[in-house]
């Protein structure tokens, strides 16, 4: 019986320690954020093209500048990971995915910011989930060179009828507002989203 209670104590202590460490991470708990490092042996650049860009419409270019916490200094070598649904609002899969691709789907990509802190993704505009339970969006995860991975607010679109007033006026957005007004550049929709590292991110120093 004594051995049982000792074992139970050790297990509970381990869980408590793990939860404490998780909550003390930059950004707080973030299930799956380590996917920002799931790019394998690819040599990341400031530009990436997601699968489907050549065949799906409307085509979209996501671009912006990442700034240090002061909101002024460009931040280089920051990894940005994004993923999104297809034009039916589904995280499309081919069926042989493993790891994070098995639930993030095939429409995902990675960049690393350049000396000017700039980044670009070529993709297409995603659709809301089939039940239209929330606005269409593109998920963002950040990995700074000296910090753990954390998520920032997803991109949402100003013209999306599913976007509520509360979402449009959200206070303390992570990394800055993700609500984007789209413009056009030829056949491309342009979504410009600048990011301020650490802005409204818990445990950020």
Q: Is residue 17 part of a domain?
A: no
Q: Is residue 46 part of a domain?
A: yes
Length of the chain: 205
Ranking 13-22, 31-40, 113-122 by mean pLDDT, the lowest is 13-22
What pLDDT shows up at residue 10? 38
Q: Is residue 39 part of a domain?
A: yes
pLDDT-based confidence at residue 103 (cuts at 50, 70, 90): confident
Q: Which whole number is the average pLDDT over 154-175?
A: 96
In the chain, pLDDT over 70 holds for what percent of residues?
Answer: 89
Q: Which whole number is the average pLDDT over 122-141?
A: 96
Q: Is residue 123 part of a domain?
A: yes
Q: Is residue 14 part of a domain?
A: no
35-60: pLDDT as tens digits: 999 999 999 999 999 999 999 999 99
**Closest to 139 in 3D by CA, of 26, 150, 169, 113:** 150
Q: Is residue 91 part of a domain?
A: yes
pLDDT-based confidence at residue 101 (cuts at 50, 70, 90): confident
Q: Which one is predicted more confidently, 165 or 99? A: 165
The tokens of 81 are what? 């990971």
Greatest Cα pair distance, the chain, in angstroms, is: 74
Ranking 9-13, 135-139, 144-148 by mean pLDDT, the lowest is 9-13
Expressed as residue numbers, the domain containing 40 is 27-196
CATH number, domain with residue 57:
2.60.130.10
Mean pLDDT taken over the chain: 89
The tokens of 189 are what? 């929709």
In the chain, pLDDT over 90 holds for what percent of residues?
Answer: 81
What pLDDT shows up at residue 128? 97
Separation CA 87–CA 73 (nearest Å): 36
Separation CA 156–CA 104 (nearest Å): 18
CA distances, 95 to each of 100, 102, 107, 151 (Å): 13, 8, 14, 26
What pLDDT shows up at residue 130? 95
What pLDDT shows up at residue 198? 97
What pLDDT shows up at residue 21? 45
Q: Is residue 48 part of a domain?
A: yes
Count Cβ atoms within 10 A of the Cβ of residue 127 and give its class: 0-12 exposed, 13-18 middle, 19 or more buried.
middle
**Closest to 118 in 3D by CA, of 201, 195, 199, 49:** 195
Count Cβ atoms within 10 A of the Cβ of residue 41 and give its class: 0-12 exposed, 13-18 middle, 19 or more buried.
exposed
Total domains in the fold of the chain = 1
What pLDDT shows up at residue 194? 98
138 close to 108: Cβ distance less than 8 angstroms: no
What pLDDT shows up at residue 9? 38
Q: Is residue 85 part of a domain?
A: yes
Pure H helices in 64-190: 101-104, 165-168
Q: Which whole number is the average pLDDT over 24-44?
A: 93
Separation CA 92–CA 87 (nearest Å): 10
Q: Which whole number is the average pLDDT over 86-109?
A: 91
Pure H helices in the chain: 2-23, 101-104, 165-168
Other CB atoms within 10 A of residue 28 CB:
13
Check pLDDT > 50 for residue 12: no
């Amino acid at each position: 019986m004594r051995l049982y209670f000792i074992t139970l104590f050790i297990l509970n202590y381990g869980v408590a320690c793990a939860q404490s460490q998780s909550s003390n991470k930059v950004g707080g708990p973030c299930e799956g954020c380590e996917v920002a490092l799931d790019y394998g042996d690819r040599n990341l650049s400031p530009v990436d093209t997601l699968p489907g860009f050549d065949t799906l419409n409307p085509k979209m270019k996501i671009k912006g500048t990442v700034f240090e916490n002061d909101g002024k200094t460009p931040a280089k070598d920051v990894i940005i990971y994004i993923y999104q649904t297809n034009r039916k609002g589904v995280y499309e899969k081919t069926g042989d995915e493993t790891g994070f691709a098995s639930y993030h789907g095939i429409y995902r990509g990675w960049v690393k910011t350049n000396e000017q802190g700039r980044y670009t993704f070529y993709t297409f505009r995603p659709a809301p989930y089939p039940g239209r339970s929330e606005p269409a969006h593109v998920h963002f995860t950040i990995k700074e060179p000296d910090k753990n991975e954390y998520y920032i607010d997803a991109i949402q679109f100003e013209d999306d009828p599913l976007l509520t007033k509360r979402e449009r006026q959200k206070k303390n957005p992570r990394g800055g507002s993700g609500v984007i007004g789209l413009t056009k550049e030829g056949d491309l929709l342009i979504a410009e989203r600048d990011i301020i590292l650490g802005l409204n991110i818990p445990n950020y120093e």
